[in-house]
Chain A
Amino acid sequence: EAGVAQSPRYKIIEKRQSVAFWCNPISGHATLYWYQQILGQGPKLLIQFQNNGVVDDSQLPKDRFSAERLKGVDSTLKIQPAKLEDSAVYLCASSPSGVNEQYFGPGTRLTVT
Chain B
Amino acid sequence: QQQVKQSPQSLIVQKGGISIINCAYENTAFDYFPWYQQFPGKGPALLIAIRPDVSEKKEGRFTISFNKSAKQFSLHIMDSQPGDSATYFCAAGGSLRGSRPLNAGGTSYGKLTFGQGTILTVHP
Contacts and interface: CB of A to CB of B under 8 A. Distances in A.
A25 interface: no
A91 B108 contact: no
Contacts, number: 69
Q: How large is the interface on A (under 10, 10 to 19, 20 to 34, 35 or more residues)?
A: 20 to 34
A24 B1 CA distance: 32
A42 B43 contact: no
A99 B94 CA distance: 11
B45 A104 contact: yes
A42 B46 contact: no
Interface stretch (A44-52, A60-68, A79-87): A44-52
A38 B35 CA distance: 19
B67 to A, nearest CB: 20
Question: For the complex, would chain B's binding face be called helix, strand, loop or mixed by DSSP majority?
Answer: strand
Given A48-B110, A101-B46, A55 B96 contact: no
Contacts of B42: 106-107
A41 B116 contact: yes
Interface of A: 4, 31, 33, 40-45, 48, 50, 55-56, 58, 91, 93, 95, 98-107
Interface of B: 4, 6, 32, 34, 36, 41-46, 49, 89, 91, 93, 95-96, 102-103, 108, 110-117
